[in-house]
Amino acid sequence: MSWCRAAVVETSPEYNRVTTQMSQYEKEGMWSHAAELGDTHSEKSGDTSMKMRAIDNYAKAGYDSKTLEKHAKAPVTGGDSE
């Protein structure tokens, strides 16, 4: 029996697709598109880091800070974060 312990974390193809598309939108300055994509994915997956990234993109797109505060405090539903 080996005493070495390792964890291999794999991300889903959907998560990879979403992060790649978000990065592309961010590079092009399409903040609201990136925010909507990240927000939708975070709701489905329960990924809080994706939700925070979406909120940052909403702010860059010019959304009201009070609305963003309410959105940030809302619980994330869905599966486990990735």
DSSP for the chain reads ------------HHHHHHHHHHHHHHHTT-HHHHHHHHHHHHHHH--HHHHHHHHHHHHHTT--HHHHHHHHHSPPPBS---
Domain that holds residue 67: 13-73
**pLDDT, tens digit, 9 for 90 and up, residues 23-63:** 999 999 999 999 999 999 999 999 999 999 999 999 999 99
**pTM recorded for the entire structure:** 0.74
Q: Tell me, what's the pLDDT at 20?
A: 97
- Residue 41 in any domain: the answer is yes
When divided into structural domains, the chain yields a total of 1
- Residue 44 in any domain: the answer is yes
Q: Tell me, what's the pLDDT at 82?
A: 45
- Residue 8 in any domain: the answer is no
* 81 confidence band (pLDDT: 50, 70, 90): very low
- Residue 64 in any domain: the answer is yes
- Residue 7 in any domain: the answer is no
- Residue 25 in any domain: the answer is yes
Q: pLDDT exceeding 70 applies to what percent of the chain? A: 89
